[in-house]
Amino acid sequence: MAKELIRFENISKSFDGTEVLKDLTLSIHENEFVTLLGPSGCGKTTTLRILGGFETPDKGRVMFDGGDITNIPPNKRPLNTVFQKYALFTHMNVADNIAFGLKIKGKDKDHIREKIAYSLKLVGLEGFENRYPSSLSGGQQQRIAIARAIVNEPQVLLLDEPLGALDLKLRQGMQYELIRLKEELGITFVYVTHDQEEALTMSDTVVVMNQGLIQQIGTPEDIYNEPQNAFVADFIGESNLIDGIMIHDCLVNIGGLDLPCVDTGFGNNNPVDVVIRPEDVELDADGNGPIKGTVISIVFKGVHWEMHVESSIGITFLVQTTEHFPVGSVVGINVDPYNIQIMHKPSSEDAQVFDQLETIPGEDL
Q: How confident is the model at residue 165 (pLDDT cuts 50, 70, 90)?
A: low
Banded model confidence at residue 357, pLDDT cuts 50, 70, 90: very low
pLDDT surpassing 80 at residue 129: yes
Whether residue 337 is contained in a domain is answered as yes
Q: What is the pLDDT of residue 341?
A: 94
Query: What is the per-residue pLDDT for 244?
Result: 96
Tell me, yes or no, whether 267 and 164 share the same domain.
no
List pLDDT tens digits, range 245-302. 999 999 999 999 999 999 999 999 999 999 999 999 999 999 999 999 999 999 999 8
What's the mean per-residue pLDDT of the chain?
88
Cα 147 → chain centroid: 23
Higher-scoring residue by pLDDT: 123, 272: 272
230 domain-assigned? no
Same domain, 175 and 279: no
Kindly state the average pLDDT of the residues 184-201: 89
For residues 256 and 218, membership in a common domain is answered with: no
Which of residues 353 and 303 earns the better pLDDT score? 303
178, part of any domain: yes
- Going by pLDDT thresholds of 50, 70 and 90, the confidence category of residue 350 is very low
Higher pLDDT, 16 or 162: 16
Instruction: Please tell me which residue, 167 or 47, carries the higher pLDDT value.
Output: 47
pLDDT surpasses 60 at 1: yes
Domain CATH number, residue 271 = 2.40.50.140
Mind listing the pLDDT tens digit for each residue in 88-112?
Answer: 888 889 888 888 888 888 888 888 8
| Structural domain includes residue 143 | yes
- 273 and 203 assigned to the same domain: no
Instruction: Name residue 41's beta-bridge partners.
Output: none
Does residue 233 lie within any of the structural domains?
no
Q: Output the pTM of the full model.
A: 0.81
Q: What percent of the chain has pLDDT over 70?
A: 93
**How far is 153 from 46, CA to CA, in rounded Å?**
24
User: What's the CATH number where 195 sits?
Assistant: 3.40.50.300
Are 129 and 170 found together in one domain?
yes
Q: Are residues 245 and 97 in the same domain?
A: no
Residue 356: inside a domain: no
**Does one domain contain both 86 and 207?**
yes
pLDDT computed for residue 208 by the predictor: 96
Domain boundary among 193, 225, 257: 225
Q: Is the pLDDT score of 353 beyond 80? A: no
Task: Select the highest-mean-pLDDT range: 93-107, 110-124, 190-204, 312-326.
Answer: 312-326
Looking at the structure, tell me whether residues 97 and 60 fall in a common domain. Answer: yes
User: 158 with 24, same domain?
Assistant: yes
Residue 232 included in any domain: no
Dihedral sign of CA atoms 242, 245, 247, 248 in order: positive
Q: Are 214 and 253 part of one and the same domain?
A: no
Last residue of a domain, one of 225, 246, 281: 225
Tally of domains in the chain: 2
pLDDT classification of 361: cutoffs 50, 70, 90: very low
Instruction: Kindly tell me if the per-residue pLDDT of 355 is higher than 50.
Output: no
Is residue 349 very low, low, confident or very high in pLDDT (cuts 50, 70, 90)? Answer: very low
Give yes or no: residues 244 and 219 share one domain: no
Residue 357 in domain = no
Shared domain for 144 and 206, answered yes or no, is: yes
Q: Residue 165's domain spans which residues?
A: 4-225
Highest averaged pLDDT of the listed ranges 73-77, 144-148, 197-201, 271-275: 271-275
